[in-house]
Amino acid sequence: MSAVKGTFEQKLAQAPAAEKERVADEANDAVVKAVTDQGLSIDEYTTILQVAQNDPVVRDKLSG
């Protein structure tokens, strides 16, 4: 996921103002595909992120 995020953060930073919304939509689609390719739903992924935000043990396991 971080590779997808990094790629699109760079694209978004370099995109002309008129293209930023399209690039953001493309990034969102890529994230959804990456999540679902791992067998998760968006709701499951969001829940995992919320737990990781609040629990340092989970956060360490996800980042390690």
Q: Answer for the pair 4, 34: CB distance below 8 angstroms, yes or no.
A: yes
At residue 59, the pLDDT reads 86
The parent domain of residue 53 ranges over: 2-63
Alpha carbon of 10 to those of 4, 15, 23, 31, 35: distances in Å?
10, 9, 10, 15, 20
Model pLDDT for residues 1-30, shown as the tens digit of each residue: 677 778 888 888 999 999 999 999 999 999
Residue 8: what pLDDT?
86
How does residue 61 score in pLDDT terms, banded at 50, 70 and 90? confident
Model-wide pTM > 0.85: no
Closest CA to 23 of 32, 37, 10: 10
Please state the domain count of the chain. Answer: 1
pLDDT in tens, 40-56: 999 999 999 899 999 99
